[in-house]
Chain A
Amino acid sequence: EAEVAQSPRYKITEKSQAVAFWCDPISGHATLYWYRQILGQGPELLVQFQDESVVDDSQLPKDRFSAERLKGVDSTLKIQPAELGDSAMYLCASSLGGAGETQYFGPGTRLLVL
């Protein structure tokens, strides 16, 4: 069964350092989402891509976060500089697109900022 891949699974960094997360969606899925899940909360959207284009980045803190999906396949989310409040689970999801599509999630990257 096809799955969304994410790496690394865990990342510990010090504040002010740069971190990057990678996501490889299910093959053929045009839409890719990055969500952030703070402990005890539900996931919240950071950025949504349709192919290589950003569809929604209204909740992305653009002063420190950036995301790209250059070839419309895999994607990278970067934080620079990391802050203590960025400690969370970062989840990637993908979907085919179109009416009624469902989103499939990867295992997530758990980030701890010290």
Chain B
Amino acid sequence: GEDVEQSLFLSVREGDSSVINCTYTDSSSTYLYWYKQEPGAGLQLLTYIFSNMDMKQDQRLTVLLNKKDKHLSLRIADTQTGDSAIYFCAEKEQAGTALIFGKGTTLSVSS
């Protein structure tokens, strides 16, 4: 079945760049997403990328997709303390289906 793997924890200093990595097993994954979850809250959509793209940039966020290695990354430039949260990678095979999530990466930003 489908599986999404993420590293569990990342610690960075304020102002540095953060890179959160994700690997997935389903080669037919068509849509890939990054969500952010703050303590006790729901999931906030950060960005997404379709499988026919290699890169997407949105302000401080850059998503890179390596389809050959089934690897997805999220880079946050100039990381701020407000970026401290859990980041989830998610994928789905086709439109109209549910998301398959990783276990989340906890990002800790120190000042």
Report A's interface with B, CB cutoff 8 A: 4, 6, 31, 33, 35, 40-45, 48, 50, 55-56, 91, 93, 97-108, 110
Closest to A6 in B: B42
**Contact indicator A99/B101 (Cβ below 8 Å):** no
Smallest Cβ distance from B48 to chain A, in angstroms?
Answer: 6
Report B's interface with A, CB cutoff 8 A: 4, 31, 33, 35, 40-45, 48, 50, 88, 90, 95-99, 101-104
Closest to A110 in B: B40
Smallest Cβ distance from A2 to chain B, in angstroms?
Answer: 13
Q: In the complex, what distance in Å separates the CA atom of A97 from the CA atom of B97?
A: 9
Which residue from B4, B40, B48, B98 sits with its C-beta under 8 Å from A33? B98
Q: Which of chain B's residues have a CB closer than 8 A to the CB of A93?
A: 43
Q: Which of chain B's residues have a CB closer than 8 A to the CB of A6?
A: 42
**Contact indicator B104/A42 (Cβ below 8 Å):** yes
**Contact indicator A103/B45 (Cβ below 8 Å):** yes
Q: Which of chain A's residues have a CB closer than 8 A to the CB of B103?
A: 40-42
Q: In the complex, what distance in Å separates the CA atom of A7 from the CA atom of B97?
A: 25
Q: Which of chain A's residues have a CB closer than 8 A to the CB of B4?
A: 42
Smallest Cβ distance from A112 to chain B, in angstroms?
Answer: 13
Question: Sorted from nearest, which 4 A-B pairs have the closest CB atoms?
Answer: A42-B101, A45-B98, A105-B43, A105-B42
**Contact indicator A107/B95 (Cβ below 8 Å):** no
**Contact indicator A42/B45 (Cβ below 8 Å):** no
Q: In the complex, what distance in Å separates the CA atom of A93 from the CA atom of B90?
A: 14
**Contact indicator B96/A97 (Cβ below 8 Å):** yes
